[in-house]
Structure 1
Amino acid sequence: NRDVNKQEPTKYPLPRQATYEEPVVNNTPFLSTSHDHFNPKNVPRDSSKLYQPDWVYLDRHVLRFYGYFKESVVESNHENSRNRKVKVLFYLEDNSVSINEEKFENSGIPQGKFLKREKYVQENGKFLTAYDFRLGQAITLYGRSIYLYNCDDYTREFYEKAGQPQGPSEPYENDQWTSTVTNKWIPKKDAQMKEYLEKKLGGGKVNSEKQFLENDRKVLKFFARFEGAPFIVHYFLADDTIE
């Protein structure tokens, strides 16, 4: 769409600049990342920010929102819908957006990268900007209505500096499936009992191969008595078993 590509880039007031160490080669700044060469020779260094391009001025400035969208479940008797938590990242450098879904173990659905970084064109024909994100409201991306309930501290500072402070954060409410799985009692594995039962049945594995090789055929012999009856106890150093 040519009309979309002709849109002027959005200027954003930044609460603070990104901090990073500039690489140095032979005690001089590396020109590929140094911004001084963008300044005209007759302009003092104090006005360097006036001549920085957007990709330099807005570099490494990312807004982070936390949200979720509901997805209907029709093949389960335990739930009707499921909340899928996502992290929405908006890059001020080029007004691009990416969405990552939080991975949940044994969820039964593919998770991870939900939307690769790209510039999104809204229904009105304009690019998505930072001012389109509001806490407590939903934003629609490719047919998915994502409800935003929280953001990080830097994102709040950004909107306060822009004169559009975000609303208060809202608690996230788990869906029926997540609540059931989270509250389900999972028994802890007893490694010692498992090892005992395996060795009792004649199985199991040697804890240390070195111990087995160094102590093979080495047996401690004890003479014991129980209720007047004599016994002989053998302790095998190879695998710490007795008979």
Structure 2
Amino acid sequence: MEGFENIPLPKLPGTEFYNPLDLARPRPQVFKVVNGIAGNYGEYSLPPHLRPTSAPVRRKPLAEKTAPNKKVTQPGWLVYDGQVLRYFGWFKEIITERREEKWRVRKCVLYYYLEDDTIHISEPRVDNSGIPQGVFLKRMQVQKEDGGYLKYKDLLVGDTVDIYKREFHIISCDDFTRKFLASKNITLADDLEAPGDPYTMMKQKERDHFFKQQRKPDEASLTFFSRGTLSKKMLENDRKVLRFYSVWEEDAVYGNEKRQSIVHYYLSDDTIEVLEVNDRNSGRDAFPLLLRRMKLTKGDSMVPSDFFRDPKEEQYLNFTDLKIGATISVYGKELLMYDCDEFTRDFYVTKLGMPKENLEKIDVFPKKEVVHVQPKLMKHAFSIGSDEEALQAQKSLVLKPLKKDMKQFVLNDGKLLRYVAKLVETPEFPLKSRYDAEREFVITYYLVDDTILIFEPPQRNSGIVGGKFLERQKVKNPDNKLYTKYDLTVGSKIIVYCRAFQIISADKYTLSYMEEHNFAECDFDAITSRLRGFLAGEKLDELKSLLIRTDSEGEGSTSAKDLVDLVAKIGGSLSAQEAITICRKLNNSTESVDTAAFLDSIST
């Protein structure tokens, strides 16, 4: 087979050799952040297996390229971010549709954004101009006629800038623009005034002419509201409205009802508008207007005789007739005005010299005592869940989950109190069987949600199947109140569904928890102080003799059960939980207590 080593394999399926490195074209990471500036700081290089055989040119690392003494220049979009130059100017618009004017001056504001050299032009809105004003030129780069784009160096006060065949005359700028251009060694001229156009000057002359037509009243004719005065009044008081808050009583099915409304008085033409205040869930249709804007007639005039007014106007209400505490008649409804807004107060104080005391709010809605009524639970036989869930279901048609006490959940999650209890007989709840007295139960109280679980451990040859006696749930006492952790102590009785349980013991964690959280029967100082006050004189000697008789073997200790019985013999009271607290404090045990230590604690 010599001579066949260099012969290539034929291009047949299964005879070609696949080299995965031929198709691998990894690109290195070149996007980096250097000196707080993000950018491309690398060059693409071929993978090692695709590089040429000649020695590559060594590239200097970034640390060598950036000299330590060389000043790093930041890009303009980062340096001038959020900085805008503002210029004020005007341009002339040719008018060919009207004979009264041939051209008109339109004022505008020019914004120059330094970060990207864009320009935005807006035209301030002028009332009753009839011209669609606002954004005149959207933000964009503006080209010059000789090429290139407009820069801030081309925008100077007093110069004219040609933007899309319109000549904008720059007349002023703001303080920031002047300071910025001064830092660039560019001096600006002083601010100029915009010229007037024929139409605006004509309207100003007509307005001044109307103002001069005001005539003083004389005895022959009280023409106070002449044509010129009316025009002046309309121009000076345009969009000035007095606002009063009023109330009127309306006969309802269940007695009188107070309805609220808002009275608007337009100073420009002495018209009145009454709006009805619609309350939520009032059962009434939402009518926006009680009285449309119009002149409202009145009965007797309340205006002073020295106040000159047209006799024809005496039958209409004027702003002098409106004040807090006054009543106006609106087509059979007597509206009592009890409050007004700040503009109305300032108007009456400055224009009429009315004291501020006369403009104070009147309390027309006496405060009613809020009575919180506990909602009654109407739990039916088919109700599912606890009483709280049944009550929650009655509040809305859409069932919502109960809100948990998150503080109680965080503090008490996983904490359980365990007790051992037995069934006992009471006059109200006798035992069902004589074997029930021998049954023992474990009662678990969950602190996280105040629920109780009762479990019966199985006992051999008892004939009773053990297991869960009561599902975990909240349990109520005979007074229809929920059991709390303070109701479960050693020796106490609880009634659970016509069964009487008496707690006979508790685990160490439960006893420690009750002592740490200041349960009434677990306060050692309070117990000894009460016994010390009761066992004074002969009773203390009697208790000592009883303790000595009980300790027949001479061990020097007394059990907790005997301690309860001995205190009861001399006429005192000591619960089983209190006896356990004394034993744990003096002897660190729940069974017995040192007799000498106990006598020392109650005698000193």
Query: Can you list the C-alpha shifts for 1:192-235, whole angstroms capped at 9, x where unaligned?
Result: 9423xxxxxxxx7576679xx9xxxxxxxxxxxxxxxxxxxxx9
Range moving further from structure 2, 177-186 or 53-62: 177-186
Matched, 1:190 2:281: no
Cα separation, partners in 2 of 1:191 and 1:167, compared to 1, 3 Å: closer
Q: Is the 8 A contact 1:206 1:239 kept in 2?
A: no
3-state DSSP class of the match of 1:155? helix
Cα separation, partners in 2 of 1:206 and 1:91, compared to 1, 3 Å: closer
Corresponding residue number in structure 1 for 2:333: 238
Aligned with 1:177 (options 199, 222, 227) = 199
Cα separation, partners in 2 of 1:50 and 1:178, compared to 1, 3 Å: farther
3-state DSSP class of the match of 1:168? coil
Corresponding residue number in structure 2 for 1:109: 131
3-state DSSP class of the match of 2:36? helix
Report the Cα distance in structure 1 between the residues aligned to 2:334 and 2:269, rounded to whole angstroms: 14
Report the Cα distance in structure 2 between the residues aligned to 1:101 and 1:192, rounded to whole angstroms: 31
Q: Is the 8 A contact 1:38 1:51 kept in 2?
A: no
Cα separation, partners in 2 of 1:106 and 1:59, compared to 1, 3 Å: same
Corresponding residue number in structure 2 for 1:87: 109
Equivalences for residues 136-151 of structure 1 within 5 A: 136-151=158-173
Q: Is the 8 A contact 1:207 1:239 kept in 2?
A: no
3-state DSSP class of the match of 1:93? coil
Equivalences for residues 142-221 of structure 1 within 5 A: 142-181=164-203, 184=207, 185-186=231-232, 187=234, 188=237, 189-190=266-267, 193-195=270-272, 205=274
Partner letter of residue 160 of structure 2? A
3-state DSSP class of the match of 1:146? strand
Query: Can you list the C-alpha shifts for 1:34-57, whole angstroms capped at 9, x where unaligned?
Result: 99632988989999x834222111
Equivalences for residues 51-130 of structure 1 within 5 A: 51-130=73-152
Q: How far 1:180 sits from its partner (Å)? A: 4.1
Partner letter of residue 102 of structure 1? P
Report the Cα distance in structure 2 between the residues aligned to 1:115 and 1:41, rounded to whole angstroms: 46
Q: How far 1:162 sits from its partner (Å)? A: 1.2
Identity of aligned residues (%): 28
Report the Cα distance in structure 1 between the residues aligned to 2:141 and 2:69, rounded to whole angstroms: 33
Q: CA RMSD in A?
A: 3.5
Name the larger-Rg structure.
2
Q: Which has the higher contact order (CA 8 A, sep 6+)?
A: 1
Q: For structure 1, list consecutive stretches of 5 or more residues without a partner in the other structure.
A: 1-33, 196-203, 214-234
Q: How far 1:123 sits from its partner (Å)? A: 1.4
Q: For structure 2, list consecutive stretches of 5 or more residues without a partner in the other structure.
A: 1-32, 39-61, 208-230, 238-265, 285-327, 337-604
Partner letter of residue 120 of structure 2? S
Cα separation, partners in 2 of 1:208 and 1:146, compared to 1, 3 Å: same
TM-score by length of 1: 0.61
Corresponding residue number in structure 2 for 1:219: none
Report the Cα distance in structure 2 between the residues aligned to 1:119 and 1:178, rounded to whole angstroms: 33
Q: How far 1:171 sits from its partner (Å)? A: 1.6
Matched residues, number: 176
Partner letter of residue 189 of structure 2? G
